[in-house]
Amino acid sequence: MLWRASDALACERPLDVYTEALVATVRAAAALGETTGLTSAASQDADLGAQSAETETGGLSGAEMSAALDHLAFDSVQQIMETFEVEKGIEVMGVMRQVVVVSAGYDSRAFRVPWPRGTAVFELAHPDVHQHSAKVFKELQVKPPRGCSLRRVPSDTLADTTHNGDLEEKLSRQGYSPEVPSVWILQDCADVSQSRWVSLVEEACDLMCASSVIIGHLPSVRIAAGDSESSSDDDLTGKTQLVLNDLATSGVRAKCYAMSALGFCGEIGANQVGIFKGTKVRPSARETEYYAQQVYLVEHEHGDEEGFES
């Protein structure tokens, strides 16, 4: 939170009131030497000062990156509503509106973004971070937009120690449905290890049905392994081929964008290369398993005339 606030100051992008409240409490906790989920680097920097955006970020997403992800996520939710509600002439409220945020924590998207009524925002973060941020928002008496909800999921998904396979159970407990189109936001993941990145993409995409959208911060570990000959910031095709391959393997057709191509021209920093956005083009893992079971039943003459179990 401290670094993100200093980055916002550097690029002259004002913080929203919810993030300002979190920054104030985190700065106070750091000054008192409390942990509350803070990294050691952040706890040593209670005074924001004029820290440069070029300073090592530890893989965090800056203010401009966060703003870009906000716009892309909101547009994606609107597009899903257009496809599954408006074009079909139906109103389904929260059934068709799921947003999953994977970040380092202290996220305020559930409050600052004007989500359509019925949107459920699932925020994944360390349990200690959830406890602290929930306390701050409760004291401020703030709530998500009318008709929307924040579902806190205790999972430090970006950590290498996270056990693969737990994500579906934890999300399901909060009401997430893999059969419903969703929008996933992967933030603060620039410095995740290669193994964690591959596992995260695979697990997240398994929980998305067709037409779901995933957007996020490009991981430096995969960019570094890409084509070094492509040096233009506006052309990330060669640099990010491995990222696109990872997403394609999980059934996502994606494209990468440089921050400058999105209209952000401030000091981006070494870890603010760009963003990826992709659309899931195949069913979720649960749906695929279900269809495979139905095919098996038909092949072994256990199904009805329409091909489903009788």
Q: What is the pLDDT of residue 252?
A: 96
Q: Which two tokens stand for residue 41?
A: 């680097």
What is the number of other CB atoms lying within 10 angstroms of the CB of residue 146? Answer: 8
Considering only 31-40, 108-117, 266-275, which range has the smallest mean pLDDT? Answer: 31-40
With 50 as the cut, is the pLDDT of residue 40 above it?
Answer: no
- Cβ atoms 110, 195 nearer than 8 A: no
Question: Which DSSP symbol is given to 97?
Answer: -
pLDDT at 128: 92
pTM over 0.75: yes
Over residues 255-291, the pLDDT tens digits come to 998 877 777 765 544 446 789 999 999 988 788 787 7
What is the share, in percent, of the chain residues with pLDDT greater than 70? 78
What is the band of 236 on the pLDDT scale with cuts at 50, 70, 90? low
pLDDT value for 57: 64
Q: What is the mean pLDDT of the chain?
A: 80
Q: What is the 3-state secondary structure (H, E, C) of 197-241?
A: HHHHHHHHHHCCCCCCEEEEECCHHHHHCCCCCCCCCCCCCCCCH
Please tell me the predicted confidence (pLDDT) of residue 41.
38
**How does DSSP assign 135-186, residue by residue?**
HHHHHHT--PSTT-EEEEEE--TTSTTPPTT-HHHHHHHTT--TTS-EEEEE
Report whether pLDDT(248) > 90: yes
pLDDT of 224 reads 59
Q: What is the mean pLDDT of residues 101-109?
A: 92
- What pLDDT digit, counting tens, does each position of 133-148 carry? 999 999 989 999 998 9
pLDDT of residue 93: 58
DSSP 84: I
Which region among 61-70, 211-220, 271-280, 289-298 has the lowest average model confidence (pLDDT)? 289-298
Contacts (Cβ under 8 Å, ≥6 apart) of 258: 233, 234, 235, 236, 273, 274
Residue 253, pLDDT above cutoff 90: yes
Count other C-beta atoms under 10 Å from residue 302's C-beta: 12
Q: Which domains does the chain have, with CATH numbers?
A: 2-43 (no CATH), 63-284 (3.40.50.150)
For the stretch 162-211, pLDDT in tens is 877 789 999 999 999 998 899 999 999 888 888 899 999 999 999 999 99
Residue with more model confidence, 33 or 145 = 145
Name 272's Cβ contacts closer than 8 Å, sequence gap at least 6: 53, 57, 61, 62, 64, 65, 190, 259
For 44, residues 6+ apart whose C-beta sits below 8 A from its C-beta are 30
